[in-house]
């Protein structure tokens, strides 16, 4: 059954020298959180069959650092369709996928919180580098629709980078 992993990009650096919002890089705290989430995904057997990332620098960097730190790989698609996307845009993109059992999407708020709410009815706070996992009963991504998913997991990065569980 399909599984959707939703990862909000990690904390970006507003003080960096960048041209447009699309080009804003990650902050040091963001790089640490991205690595922690990537390690967690590997340890929890949450490596996706496909990752689709917003073309924004901070989203692509989050994915790259997560993959490197967790020592996992999967095919990656980078698309401007996830930058400033609406919830219907995201659902449309997912409906185009056919064979992938699990898909990771990496992108932005407020869209990610809206996607979670639309698919599960749950209202969640998608802080930077938060990972959400949604499971579905349907067999094909073309069947994705509102309220079709079950919220399976919500992991904010602070639980992985604070205290005794140091995955950063």
Residues 2-31: tens digit of each pLDDT: 999 999 999 998 887 777 878 889 999 999
Note whether residue 24 is domain-resident.
Answer: yes
User: Is 167 within the bounds of a domain?
Assistant: no
Domain count, the chain: 1
Task: Please give the average pLDDT of every successive group of 10 residues along the chain, which has 168 residues.
Answer: 96 84 90 96 97 97 98 98 97 93 97 98 96 96 97 93 54
Within a domain: residue 22? yes
Determine if residue 79 is left, alpha or beta; phi over 0 gives left, psi from -120 to 50 gives alpha, anything else beta: beta
* 35 class by beta-carbon count within 10 Å (0-12 exposed, 13-18 middle, 19+ buried): buried
Structure tokens at 67: 């993959």
What is the CATH classification number for the domain harbouring 142?
Answer: 3.40.50.1240
pTM of the predicted model, to two decimals? 0.93
Whether 166 maps to a domain, the answer reads: no
Domain that holds residue 128: 3-161
In a domain, 69, yes or no: yes
Q: What is the pLDDT of residues 96-111, one digit of tens each?
A: 998 789 999 999 999 9
Residue at 50 is within a domain: yes
């Amino acid at each position: 059954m399909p599984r959707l992993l939703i990862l909000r990009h990690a904390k970006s650096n507003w003080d960096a020298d960048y041209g447009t919002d699309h080009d804003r890089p990650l902050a040091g705290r963001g790089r640490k959180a991205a690595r922690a989430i990537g390690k967690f995904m590997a340890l929890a057997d949450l490596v996706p069959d496909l990752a689709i990332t917003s073309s924004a620098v901070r989203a692509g960097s989050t994915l790259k650092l997560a993959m490197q730190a967790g020592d996992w790989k999967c095919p990656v698609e980078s698309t401007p369709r996830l930058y400033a996307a609406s919830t219907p845009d995201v659902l449309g993109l997912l409906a185009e996928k056919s064979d992938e059992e699990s898909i990771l999407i990496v992108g932005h708020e407020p869209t990610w919180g809206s996607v979670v709410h639309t698919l599960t009815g749950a209202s969640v706070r998608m802080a930077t580098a938060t990972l959400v996992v949604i499971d579905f009963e349907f067999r094909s991504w073309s069947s994705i629709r509102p309220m079709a998913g079950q919220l399976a997991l919500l992991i904010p990065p602070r639980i992985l980078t604070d205290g005794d569980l140091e995955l950063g």
